[in-house]
Homo-oligomer: A and B are copies of this chain.
Amino acid sequence: MDAHNGQDQEVNPWEVKGDANGKIDYEKLQKKFGCSRLTQDLVARIEKLTGRPAHLLLRRGVFYAHRDLEELLNAYEKGEPFYLYTGRGPSSEALHLGHLIPFQFTKWLQDAFNVPLVIQITDDEKRLWRNLSADEAYRLGKENVKDIIACGFDPEKTFIFSDYDYMGGMFYRNIIEISAAVTMSTRKAIFGFSFDSNIGQMSFPAVQAAPCFPTSFPHMFGTRKAIRCLIPCAIDQDPYFRMTRDVAPKLGYIKPALIESSFFPALQGEGGKMSASDPNSAIFVTDTAPQIKKKINKFAFSGGGADADEQREKGANLDVDVSWKYLQFFLDDDEELKKIGEQYGSGSMMTGKVKARLIEVLQKLVAQHQEYRAKVTADVVERFTSPRKMDNLFAGLKLVGES
Identity of the chain B residue whose Cβ is nearest the Cβ of A129 in the assembled complex: B180
In this assembly, does A250 line the interface, its C-beta being within 8 Å of a C-beta of chain B?
A: no
In this assembly, does A127 line the interface, its C-beta being within 8 Å of a C-beta of chain B?
A: yes
Known A164-B172, A167-B167, A184-B196; judge A179-B128 contact (CB<8 A): yes
Whether the pair A200, B194 counts as a contact (CB closer than 8 A) is no
Q: A182 to chain B: which residues have CB within 8 Å?
A: 198-199
Q: A127 to chain B: which residues have CB within 8 Å?
A: 176-177, 180
Q: A201 to chain B: which residues have CB within 8 Å?
A: 179
Whether the pair B195, A199 counts as a contact (CB closer than 8 A) is no
Cβ 8 A contact of A203, one of B134, B165, B181, B199: B199
Whether the pair B205, A179 counts as a contact (CB closer than 8 A) is no
Whether the pair B197, A184 counts as a contact (CB closer than 8 A) is yes
In this assembly, does A202 line the interface, its C-beta being within 8 Å of a C-beta of chain B?
A: yes
Identity of the chain B residue whose Cβ is nearest the Cβ of A135 in the assembled complex: B173
Whether the pair B198, A199 counts as a contact (CB closer than 8 A) is no
Cβ 8 A contact of A200, one of B128, B176, B197: B176
- In the assembled complex, the CB of A388 is this many whole angstroms from the nearest CB of chain B, namely 17
- In the assembled complex, the CB of A27 is this many whole angstroms from the nearest CB of chain B, namely 31
In this assembly, does A188 line the interface, its C-beta being within 8 Å of a C-beta of chain B?
A: yes
Identity of the chain B residue whose Cβ is nearest the Cβ of A191 in the assembled complex: B199
Q: A197 to chain B: which residues have CB within 8 Å?
A: 183-184
Q: How many chain A residues touch the partner (CB < 8 A)?
A: 37
Give complex CA distance A128, B182 in Å. Answer: 11
Give complex CA distance A176, B176 in Å. Answer: 15
Whether the pair B183, A172 counts as a contact (CB closer than 8 A) is no
Known A167-B167, A168-B168, A172-B168; judge A200-B185 contact (CB<8 A): no
In this assembly, does A206 line the interface, its C-beta being within 8 Å of a C-beta of chain B?
A: yes
Whether the pair B179, A199 counts as a contact (CB closer than 8 A) is yes
In this assembly, does A373 line the interface, its C-beta being within 8 Å of a C-beta of chain B?
A: no
Would you list which residues of chain A between 125 and 151 have a CB under 8 Å from chain B? 127-128, 134
Whether the pair B180, A196 counts as a contact (CB closer than 8 A) is no
Q: A238 to chain B: which residues have CB within 8 Å?
A: none
- In the assembled complex, the CB of A108 is this many whole angstroms from the nearest CB of chain B, namely 33
Whether the pair B184, A199 counts as a contact (CB closer than 8 A) is yes
The listed residue with most B CB atoms (<10 A of its CB), out of A176, A188, A195, is A176
Cβ 8 A contact of A124, one of B124, B169, B176: B176
Give complex CA distance A273, B21 in Å. Answer: 63
27 inter-chain pairs at a CB distance below 8 angstroms, sorted by A residue, are A124-B176, A127-B176, A127-B177, A127-B180, A128-B179, A134-B176, A164-B172, A164-B176, A167-B167, A167-B169, A168-B168, A168-B172, A175-B200, A181-B198, A182-B198, A182-B199, A183-B197, A184-B193, A184-B195, A184-B197, A184-B198, A185-B195, A187-B199, A188-B195, A199-B206, A200-B203, A202-B203
A residues at B contact (CB < 8 Å): 124, 127-128, 134, 164-169, 172-173, 175-177, 179-185, 187-188, 193-203, 205-206
